[in-house]
Chains A and B, each alone.
Chain A
Amino acid sequence: AQSVTQLDSQVPVFEEAPVELRCNYSSSVSVYLFWYVQYPNQGLQLLLKYLSGSTLVESINGFEAEFNKSQTSFHLRKPSVHISDTAEYFCAVSRRSGSARQLTFGSGTQLTVLP
């Protein structure tokens, strides 16, 4: 079975500081990995994904994540955060359930950017 662990439930950080949100997964097979962001009272938006190829993936708004197979991690980083980055962030792994491909999510990390 696959599972996802997000090690920090809350991460407060000052504006323009760097941030890292940690994610570890367990899987015995090759995986697809994702980071989603959820703003208050909204659904999930895909931030970035790892399917194959380069282990470093980037989003259009400055976030990046690195797939580390040996450490089974997919940590999310941003070198300089903005107030608008305040949101809940979910790490997820894609796995098969019958014929379906479902997402298994971590419990989330609340990122709060302070002025």
Chain B
Amino acid sequence: ETGVTQSPTHLIKTRGQQVTLRCSSQSGHNTVSWYQQALGQGPQFIFQYYREEENGRGNFPPRFSGLQFPNYSSELNVNALELDDSALYLCASSLGGSSYNEQFFGPGTRLTVL
């Protein structure tokens, strides 16, 4: 059983560019959540996808968007990058449909915006 994987590990972009981050969920999981962790802070919820539909969103602008594919892998897209978007982006997978679904985290993608 493979765990949650994310790619790339590190990424450097400049302001105004667009970026796509990828996440493969743990085997058997149908739900993916994305979190942004700025330096020195706790992770903040961006959004969650369940069976290819967004079913919850945190306080992030529309330039943060996502997709979930039939195999339950997911992408996070960020348009018009800003300096404050520099952070560790974490993906977590879980088995949805219950009142509680334990989330398993990937190692993250470190994004630096110059």
CB distance from B68 to the nearest CB of A (A): 12
Nearest to A105 among chain B residues (CB) is: B42
A80 located at the interface, meaning its Cβ lies under 8 Å from any Cβ of chain B in the complex: no
Nearest to A108 among chain B residues (CB) is: B42
**Residue in B4, B33, B41, B105 whose beta carbon sits within 8 Å of that of A102 in the complex:** B33
Chain B residues near A103 (CB-CB < 8 A): 33, 35, 43, 45, 92, 103
In the bound complex, CA of A108 to CA of B103 (Å): 18
A12-30 interface code vs B (CB 8 A; 1 in, 0 out): 0000000000000000000
In the bound complex, CA of A44 to CA of B108 (Å): 9
Nearest to A107 among chain B residues (CB) is: B42
A72-115 interface code vs B (CB 8 A; 1 in, 0 out): 00000000000000000010101011111111111110000000
Chain B residues near A43 (CB-CB < 8 A): 4, 90, 105-108
Contact indicator B90/A44 (Cβ below 8 Å): yes
Nearest to B101 among chain A residues (CB) is: A101
B15 located at the interface, meaning its Cβ lies under 8 Å from any Cβ of chain A in the complex: no
Total B residues in contact with A, Cβ cutoff 8 Å: 28
In the bound complex, CA of A92 to CA of B41 (Å): 13
In the bound complex, CA of A98 to CA of B33 (Å): 13
Please report the number of residue pairs spanning A and B whose Cβ atoms sit closer than 8 angstroms. 72
In the bound complex, CA of A100 to CA of B92 (Å): 13
B31-57 interface code vs A (CB 8 A; 1 in, 0 out): 001010000111111011010000111
Contact indicator B58/A101 (Cβ below 8 Å): no
**Residue in B4, B50, B100 whose beta carbon sits within 8 Å of that of A94 in the complex:** B100
Contact indicator A100/B42 (Cβ below 8 Å): no
Given contacts A43-B105, A96-B56, A101-B56, 12 further A-B contacts (CB under 8 A): A42-B107, A43-B106, A45-B105, A51-B100, A90-B43, A97-B58, A99-B50, A100-B48, A100-B50, A101-B100, A103-B45, A108-B42
- What are 20 contact pairs spanning A and B, CB under 8 A? A36-B105, A43-B4, A43-B105, A43-B106, A43-B108, A44-B90, A94-B100, A96-B56, A97-B45, A97-B56, A97-B58, A98-B55, A100-B33, A100-B47, A100-B55, A100-B56, A103-B43, A103-B45, A103-B92, A106-B42
